[in-house]
């Protein structure tokens, strides 16, 4: 009988050791296993209705807020107030974001403290993971309060934004084709839109023609250019459209497309004309 009791006791002791290694509940006097800390999360509400929650991996993709809400709530022009809750309490509310930052978009990005941050970005800065114009660190949730009526946001189609990295601007010259892809385009230095104070930036068409290895009108006098957008609309530029008082200009819009205008100098100011909403190709005409 004595030998049997010893064998049973040895068997229990071994089982207890195996249980501790496999994560079993520690016995009396053992140190508790530390809990795994929860990953930082941030949630988006439209009013008080939750639309999305993002973990660290999702925030690392720098998502736009308008891509996280239902289609009927994507028009930033209707956003009256963005109420912010942070890891330490109430954050700074953002009022009338589309009016205060008309050429920018709201997006999440990884903060320096490891928590999700919120920022208003120039479109190219966002695509290049650059610096926001306005930011709020340590964001836990935001509530979008939208205005109703009044015609706000009527110029926005409510579709989700396209990825600027997927852009492609094609060029054709004397039967030879070339292409300016999104990353190459976004790496080009921009300039202020004609007549603007510097906040609205884009590219003179001359800059894009040069980057696409296309003859410039200054190099080949008399050249004309046929521009086409995503909807199949065409526009022909004459040599006279390129001058100190006439500037063909391209800007990345909020939908991630290349918006084209010809800016004309009128007195002390500039006016927009010759509009294409999503430039996709340029053909050099003989």
Q: How confident is the model at residue 192 (pLDDT cuts 50, 70, 90)?
A: very high
Q: Is the pLDDT score of 21 beyond 60?
A: no
Last residue of a domain, one of 88, 118, 146: 146
Q: Is the pLDDT score of 36 beyond 70?
A: no
CB 197 within 8 A of CB 230: no
- d(CA 206, CA 276) in angstroms, rounded, equals 16
CB 160 within 8 A of CB 67: yes
Is 224 within a domain? Answer: yes
CA distances from 29 to 32, 34, 250 (A): 9, 15, 71
Q: Tell whether pTM > 0.85.
A: no
CB 119 within 8 A of CB 110: no
Is 24 within a domain? Answer: no
Q: Is the pLDDT score of 35 beyond 60?
A: no
The 10 Å Cβ neighbour count of residue 261 is: 21
CA distances from 273 to 43, 94, 236, 270 (A): 41, 33, 13, 10
- d(CA 106, CA 224) in angstroms, rounded, equals 39
Torsion angle, CA of 87/92/97/101, rounded to 10 degrees?
-100
Residues 152-164, buried b or exposed e (16+ Cβ, 10 A)? bbeebeeeebeeb
Pair of tokens at residue 58: 């999702």
Say yes or no: 85 and 184 in one domain. Answer: no
Q: For residue 82, what are the domain limits?
A: 42-146
Is 112 within a domain? Answer: yes
Say yes or no: 276 and 230 in one domain. Answer: yes
Say yes or no: 172 and 279 in one domain. Answer: yes
Q: Rounded mean pLDDT of 32-58?
A: 81
Average pLDDT score over the chain = 84
Say yes or no: 81 and 174 in one domain. Answer: no
What is the tally of structural domains in the chain?
A: 2
Say yes or no: 62 and 175 in one domain. Answer: no
- d(CA 53, CA 34) in angstroms, rounded, equals 26
Say yes or no: 112 and 214 in one domain. Answer: no
Is 85 within a domain? Answer: yes
- d(CA 266, CA 9) in angstroms, rounded, equals 98
Is 30 within a domain? Answer: no
3-state secondary structure of 224: strand
Is 27 within a domain? Answer: no
10: left (phi over 0), alpha (psi -120 to 50) or beta: alpha
For residue range 49-67, what is the model confidence (pLDDT) as tens digits? 999 999 999 999 999 999 9
- d(CA 50, CA 211) in angstroms, rounded, equals 44
Is 12 within a domain? Answer: no
Last residue of a domain, one of 89, 119, 146: 146
Is 154 within a domain? Answer: no
Q: Rounded mean pLDDT of 231-255?
A: 94
Q: Which pLDDT value is given to residue 194?
A: 93
Say yes or no: 56 and 99 in one domain. Answer: yes
- d(CA 155, CA 222) in angstroms, rounded, equals 36
Q: Residue 243 is part of a domain; what is its CATH number? A: 3.10.20
- d(CA 228, CA 282) in angstroms, rounded, equals 7
For residue range 123-159, what is the model confidence (pLDDT) as tens digits? 999 999 999 999 999 999 999 999 875 544 444 444 5
């Amino acid at each position: 009988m004595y030998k049997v009791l010893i064998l049973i006791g040895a068997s229990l002791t071994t089982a207890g050791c195996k249980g501790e290694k496999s994560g079993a509940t520690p016995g009396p006097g053992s140190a508790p296993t530390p809990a795994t800390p929860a990953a930082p999360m941030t949630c988006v509400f439209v009013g008080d209705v939750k639309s999305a929650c993002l973990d660290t991996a999702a925030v690392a993709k720098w998502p736009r807020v308008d891509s996280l809400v239902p289609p009927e709530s994507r028009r930033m022009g209707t956003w009256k107030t963005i109420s912010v809750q942070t890891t330490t309490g109430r954050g700074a509310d953002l009022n009338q974001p589309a009016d205060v930052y008309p050429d920018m978009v709201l997006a999440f990005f990884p903060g320096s403290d490891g928590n999700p941050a919120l920022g208003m970005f120039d479109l190219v800065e966002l695509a290049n993971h650059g610096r926001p114009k306005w930011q709020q660190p340590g964001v836990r949730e935001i509530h979008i309060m939208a205005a109703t009526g009044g015609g706000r946001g009527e110029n926005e189609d409510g579709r989700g934004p396209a990825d600027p990295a997927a852009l492609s601007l094609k060029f054709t010259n004397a039967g030879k084709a070339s292409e300016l892809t999104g990353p190459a385009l976004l790496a080009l230095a921009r300039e202020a839109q004609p007549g603007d104070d510097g906040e609205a930036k884009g590219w003179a068409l001359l800059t894009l023609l040069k980057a696409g290895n296309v003859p410039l009108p200054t190099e080949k006098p008399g050249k004309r250019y046929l521009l086409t957008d995503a909807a199949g609309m065409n526009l022909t530029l004459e040599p006279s459209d390129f001058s100190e008082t006439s500037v063909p200009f391209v800007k990345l819009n909020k939908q991630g497309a290349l918006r084209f205008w010809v800016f004309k100098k009128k007195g002390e100011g500039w006016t927009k004309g010759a509009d294409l909403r999503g430039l996709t190709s340029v053909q050099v005409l003989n």
